[in-house]
Amino acid sequence: MPLHPSFGPLLDALVGVTWPARRSSGTGAAGSHPSRLRGLTAEFTEYRPYRQGDDARRLDWKLLARTDRAFLRITDDHAIRPTLLLLDASASLAFPETTHAKWIQACRLAVGLAAVARSDGDPVGLIIPGPDGVLRLAPRAHRLAIADIARTLNDTSPAGSASLVAGMEGLRPGSRLVIISDFLAEEAALLARARELIVTGVEVFALHVIAEEERVPPDVTRLAVDPESPLRRPLHDEVRDHYMTTYATWRSALAESWRRAGAEYTEVRAEEDAAPVIRRLVRGTAVVEKRW
Amino acid sequence: MVTFAAPLWIGGAAALSLLVVALHLLARRRPRPLIYPTARFLPDQPASAPAAARRPSDLLLLLLRVAIILLIGAAFARPLRAPPRRTAHLVLIDRSRAAPRILDDSVRALVRQASLVIAFDTTGREVPEATDAGDIIRSSPRGSLSAALLAAVRRAPTLAAEGDSLALHVVSPFAVEEWDEATLAIRRLWSGRIDLHVVEPAAPAIRPDGGSSLRADDPLGATLGLIGRESQAGARVVRSVPIAADSNWATAGGALVYWPRVPVEAPWATLGRDTVGGVFSGGQVVVAPFTRVVRPPEGVVIARWADGTAAATERPLGTGCERDVAIPTDMAGDVMLRPGMLALVRALTAPCGGRRDFVRVADALLDSLRGPSMLVAASQLARPVTGKVPANGWYLAAAFLLLAGEPLVRRGRR
């Protein structure tokens, strides 16, 4: 099945882009990301005096023989970072009604990030919670993984409401979770779960997709209807400023809370080009922690 | 042209319609829905708010509501068809025995243009439309101008819608027998002019000679002899059961009087023998101890005993009549010769239908009957209580029909 026509240029624009991990990985499988484990690879880094409890196999026996001092041979280890894309496919993503720009942007971000992650050799999976259950594509590093993700997205239409929190189960430490949503539902629960995952060593990225019509409401008088609840409120000139202020305040608070929790929060406009967004996103994630 | 009996209702309905239009334009409107995921950031306000419409919407619904109000207002305003600017003609045409059998062309033309034709004898009856004057059957009763004028006064209001003025025509020979003392008094109830069309009276009926032959010792024969032959012309008095010749004679217009010598011998219902103190007929009273033994057959009572029961009856027979008299004549003394008895016998032997007098009344009376020169204005006539009701029922029905459709239209607009 061919990829979605709009995904081709996006993938071309992301060739060569890498997505370094923000911190060392704890997983043991060999990969491109620095690992907190100091292994047996041949890539020497430095010596460290032996301390009680160190693995005797890592002693530099030749140095011990020459100098009669016990040093450990320190080498860098690299590991993979399984990347899971948690995509919000609720009805609120099908906005605006005529273009579904939010959903299309979410799909582009998902495919683009998946392609970037896979180019680093990381297995990539997809999680789409829906009203009838959670659709999961297990992380794979196979070359067809991106095509599978694209095909799944093409077959999915945003509708109803589902719990993103339910899709955040079973994540292993050292993996990477990218939440692509408009964060209009279960904010607190989502943030709390993300905080738990971050503590366990999961890298969490929060991509907040918003439409221009949401940021600046249309200059018409309408009865605004929440697609996921019975909420109905009038939208007219007198409330437009109040809305924009309230919505901007909420977005600022949302970004602050996610960043404070340790997640990488990025607000993405539905109308902007996805490739620069992805480049900007992955460029800002470098390993910053001390190795030991 | 339609006018209204209570036009204030129309004004009220129009004012209410304006109010409805204003409310329609200023109505609380629920704007069109828009799927908006961030609706929760909008302030919590009522979903609808009063707003003046720049352009009226739901024109069909607005027209429907206005039509309902106007129709109800029109129904309560009691629409009436305004009378046209013309004169309505009410024609009273004489069909009594005094009237001629054939009417001339001027009378026929008058009947054709009439809005209402009433043929009268003792009473007035409306003649159906499209009836030619020649088709009005003449009757045998005596005519009554008083009855005719009363009928005209009563029916005139029904013609108020036919024109702005009303002309009353009377076609009659105006015979003396049709005139009574109430005629002029009743005429004064008609405030306008009366056009009199005097026609020649009918030819006097040929009264066949009765040829009553009574025995010389018959007390009734003596009585008849006293009242004279002229007074009993046209009547045949028989003392035994009438035979076919008698009936044929009566059928030809004669008054056959069956007055049995001994009432109990007549084929009539017998009564217990009793005595009544008197008998009266036509204002004539005879007081005497009459012995009542039979009851005359059914018919129009022309003489009564003192207690009100029938003493003599009359039945039509062809163009004549037959009278059965149960008054005994074998009275002791001079009862049969008293003036009261003579008058009673004269009444009982009068021609059928009473005595005829087809002579035209005096011209002075006719002038009194004509009255003023002005016609009666339709506005002076009282509105008819009954008759064709204006169309307010239809207006109401149409209003309720639209009212039933209004929710469907309103639901379809949502």
Q: Which residues of chain B have pLDDT under 50?
A: 384-388
Q: Mark yes or no for CB contact B35/A95 under 8 Å.
A: yes
Task: List the single residue in B33, B45, B48 with the smallest CB-CB distance to A222.
Answer: B33
Our CA-based measurement puts residue B50 at a distance from the nearest CA of chain A, in whole angstroms, of 12
**Could you say which of B33, B41, B44 has the minimum Cβ distance to residue A247?**
B41
> What are the backbone angles phi and psi of residue A82, rounded to the nearest 5°?
-55, 130
Spatial separation of the C-alpha atoms in residues A190 and A164, rounded to whole Å: 7
Q: Beta-carbon neighbour count of residue A100 at 10 Å?
A: 18
Contact A97 B35 (CB under 8 A): yes
**Residue A289 pLDDT more than 50?**
no
Of A252 and B230, more confident: A252
Statement: residue A256 has pLDDT above 80: yes
Q: Which residue of B has its CA nearest to A213?
A: B36
Q: What angle in degrees, to the nearest 10, is found between the helix axes of A101-119 and A145-154?
A: 170
Name the residue in chain A with its Cα closest to that of B35. Answer: A225
pLDDT at B232: 67
Q: Is any Cβ of chain A less than 8 angstroms from the Cβ of B35?
A: yes
Check CB contact of B137 with chain A, cutoff 8 Å.
no
Contact list in B for residue A220 (CB cut-off 8 A) is 34
Letter string b/e over residues B49-69, b meaning 16 or more CB atoms within 10 A of that residue's CB? eeeeeeeeebeeebebbbbbb
**Hey, what are A254's tokens?**
């949302």
**Do A232 and B47 lie within an 8 Å CB cutoff?**
yes
Cβ contact (<8 Å) for A232 and B45?
no
Q: Does B275 touch chain A (CB under 8 A)?
A: no
Rounded Cα distance, B48 and B29, in Å? 5
**Integer distance in angstroms from the first to the last C-alpha of chain B?**
41
Is A215 exposed, middle or buried (CB count within 10 Å of its CB: 0-12, 13-18, 19+)? Answer: middle
How far A291 CA sits from the closest chain B CA (Å)? 44
First to last CA, chain A: 47
Report how far residue B249's alpha carbon sits from residue B230's, in angstroms, rounded to the nearest whole number.
18
- According to the model, what pLDDT value does residue B110 have? 86
Contact B236, B323 (CB under 8 A): no
Q: Is B37 within 8 Å of A218 when comparing Cβ atoms?
A: no
ipTM confidence score: 0.81
What pLDDT, on a 0 to 100 scale, did the predictor assign at position B386?
Answer: 42
Question: Distance between CA A138 and CA A151 in Å, rounded?
Answer: 14
A222·B32 Cβ contact <8 A: yes
pLDDT value, residue B7 = 84
Cβ atoms of residues A268 and A107 within 8 Å: no
Give A235 to chain B, closest Cα distance, Å. 7
Minimal Cβ distance to A242: which of B30, B43, B47? B43
Res A3: pLDDT: 45
Do β-strands A30-35 and A77-79 pair in parallel, antiparallel, or remain unpaired?
A: antiparallel
CB contact under 8 A, B30 and A223: yes
User: Which tokens in the block code for residue A228?
Assistant: 């996921």
Q: Residue A39's pLDDT is what?
A: 55
Residue A291 has pLDDT above 50, yes or no: no
Tell me, what's the pLDDT at B390?
Answer: 57
**CA atoms of B194 and B91, how far apart (whole Å):** 10
| A71-80: average pLDDT | 74
A90-136 pLDDT, tens digit per residue, is 999 999 989 999 999 999 999 999 999 988 888 999 999 988 889 99
Interatomic CA distance for residues A34 and A22, integer angstroms: 10
A177-216 confidence digits (pLDDT tens): 999 999 998 889 999 999 999 988 888 999 999 999 999 9
3-class DSSP state of B121: coil
Per-residue confidence (pLDDT) for residue A189, from 0 to 100: 93
Mean pLDDT for the stretch of residues A149-172: 89
Contact flag B44-A214 (C-beta cutoff 8 Å): no
Q: Helix or strand or coil: residue A5?
A: coil
What pLDDT does A292 receive? 36
Residues of B in Cβ contact (< 8 Å) with A228: 37
Handedness of CA B4, B5, B7, B9 (dihedral sign): negative
Q: Do B35 and A184 touch (CB under 8 A)?
A: no
**B349 in Cβ contact with B254 (< 8 Å):** no
* pLDDT over 90 at A149, yes or no: yes
pLDDT score at A26: 56
φ/ψ (deg, to 5) at A62: -65, -40
Q: Looking at beta carbons, which residues of chain A come within 8 Å of B34?
A: 218, 220, 222-225, 235
* Contact assessment for residue B328 and residue B219, using Cβ atoms and an 8 Å cutoff: no
Predicted confidence at residue B211, as pLDDT, reads 67
